[in-house]
Amino acid sequence: MLEPFSCYNGTMEDKISTIKSWLGTGSINIFGLPMSGKDTQGIKLAKALNAKFLSSGMIIRAMEKTSQNDYSKKGYLVPTNIFYEWVLPFFERKDLYDFPLILSSIGRWHGEENQVMSVAAGSGHEIKAAIILNISEADVEKRFEEAKTLNDRGERDDDKDIAIFKTRLHEFHYKTLPVLKYYHSLGLLIEVNGDQTREAVFNEIIDKLYAKALKSHV
């Protein structure tokens, strides 16, 4: 059951200031089904917190293009060894040292989460929260069809073919849900209703991060 937002006192500026103080140079990892708004919310959150944004999908697609590999073209997650080689070094970048990080699904395959948390902590970017944007498969498939009509998702092959898109949904359920259960077991998981307007989703993220930040000081 979602907590009533009436208990979250303070202006947006106060909430963001409190979250910044709690987060330091730590990380927040955002998860969700394809089309759930992970990157949209992650970019907005990074701007609000003066953080750097890292998207697993963006990094992998860029590396696939430069290396002429297509591991994820059919909708499957890239092999763990490739994920480690391509994505984890970003945590060590010197231009990120003094900033918190907002992560979009870094470590989506169960078994990768321990290594992700270790590398993040070792580079000064301890993962302090994981967010799941909850939305139904029916709603993300509706968004998929709308995106095809609007043609607003670039040239991504995995956003053009419904069969590939459904493979991505299958990958999430069988490989990523166990990752979320792991974060939940550590008390790090924050559930957010992703089936709202973008502004409402963002406000809920801020409210729940604010509540977590306040609890950390109790």
Radius of gyration, CA atoms only, the chain: 17
Q: pLDDT by residue (tens digit) across 111-147?
A: 999 999 999 999 999 999 999 999 999 999 998 888 8
CA–CA dist 205, 199 (Å, integer): 10
Q: How many structural domains comprise the chain? A: 1
Domain containing 122 equals 5-216
* Whether this model's pTM surpasses 0.75: yes
Q: Which position has the token pair 């070094």?
A: 89
Please tell me what DSSP assigns to residue 156.
-
Q: pLDDT by residue (tens digit) across 73-116?
A: 889 999 999 999 999 999 999 999 999 999 999 999 999 999 99
Q: 59: domain CATH number?
A: 3.40.50.300
pLDDT-wise least confident of 66-70, 130-134, 149-153, 159-163: 149-153
